[in-house]
Structure 1
Amino acid sequence: MNSAPMTSHRLGRGDCLHVAAQPVRVLADQGTLWVTQDGVPADMEVDAGSERDFQCHGGLTIGTFGGEAALRLLPLPEHDAATALRKLRRWLGIVHRKVQP
């Protein structure tokens, strides 16, 4: 279960929110959001009342389409191959250290 807290944000006209590279769910409560994901050529639109998950390997930039917006961000657990490999390497390192004389 994910214990990371959900955060709420309000954006005015011309405001942007930058999110570090991490898996996150974007929930649009009010207004229409545009989301740019580093390394992905197409921007995404998230309308009020909808949500979208991003498996961010780069950061996100979130803005509005002209008006004000309210949104929530929920960090998601990492389930990608890179995370699994990182955890496996850490586990193997622990096992290796215990085996050495």
Structure 2
Amino acid sequence: MPTGTRVDPYRNFNFLVEIDGISQGRFAECSGFGASNDPIEYREGGDNRTVRKLPGMTKYPNIVLKWGLTDSDELYKWWKNIMNGKVDRRNGSIILLDT
């Protein structure tokens, strides 16, 4: 006969990863969110006193997920296919859950 409270293995894994609308796993830590633009400076012809700046290409850092837990091997299969040269782009979301 069980005693005590039920242990939830996902309790400390607050980041839910969904790929193509299907939950693939939960992670304890997630980092690397952000974007940056390097400015492009130029001077217009005839007006060499003023430097104008435009936003350059947007750069995105790699997202790092740590300490994951899942009951599916879909993430591993996707990663393995990519490592074998079969790139399969998919849409995904990282959702922060309440504790």
TM > 0.5 between the two? Answer: no
TM-score normalized with structure 1 length: 0.17
TM-score normalized with structure 2 length: 0.17
Larger radius of gyration: 2
